[in-house]
Amino acid sequence: MNLIVAVDENWAIGNKGNLLVRIPADHRMFREETLGKVVVFGRKTIDTFPGGQPLEGRKNIVLSRNPSYTRKDAQVVHSLEELLETLKQYDSEDIYIIGGASIYEQLLPYCDVAHVTKIDHSYTADTYFPNLEKDEEWEITADSDEQYYFDLTYQFLKYERKNKKTL
């Protein structure tokens, strides 16, 4: 499985339920990477999408502990076990974990590839992603040149788990 995340230099990903910054090229990369694929996320994350609607052109799976939660045009599962069982029907290379923090935390052990947009800036934040640079299981296998958006510098990094996992 893959995950896709944008982090600042401290591996922060959000503040008060919002992204730290919106970078058009990051959104473009996200769209190109996930279009036609399976995206997995939590209820709070779908609430941040335009109109609170699932992402077009993708199979949307929402993990919510609320047993009565439903969302039009998205499949809702209510436990990690149910999610993992549901994901068995898809090629793991076509699955992308897209947030938020608790979803990343629960599913990171099942992921082999992490697409990370690393922003060279420190934001005020209350939500963080595990620092893969400090995790010996992960290594950078691809990186882009430095990118610029106004006064921000960022880079697209691909981390891969040294020992692949299976569902």
Domains and CATH numbers, the chain: 2-161 (3.40.430.10)
Cis bond leading into 100, ω under 30°?
A: yes
**Helix, strand, or coil (residue 86):** helix
Is-contact 153 146, C-beta < 8 A? yes
Angle at 125 between CA 106 and CA 119, to 5 degrees: 85
Q: From CA 34, how far away is CA 157, in angstroms rounded?
A: 16
Q: From CA 139, how far away is CA 21, in angstroms rounded?
A: 25
- pTM for this model (two decimals): 0.94
Is-contact 158 114, C-beta < 8 A? yes
**Helix, strand, or coil (residue 67):** coil
Each residue's pLDDT, cut to its tens digit, for the chain (167 residues) gives 999 999 999 999 999 999 999 999 999 999 999 999 999 999 999 988 888 899 999 999 999 999 999 999 999 999 999 999 999 999 999 999 999 999 999 999 999 999 999 999 999 999 999 999 999 999 999 999 999 999 999 999 999 999 886 66
**Helix, strand, or coil (residue 131):** coil
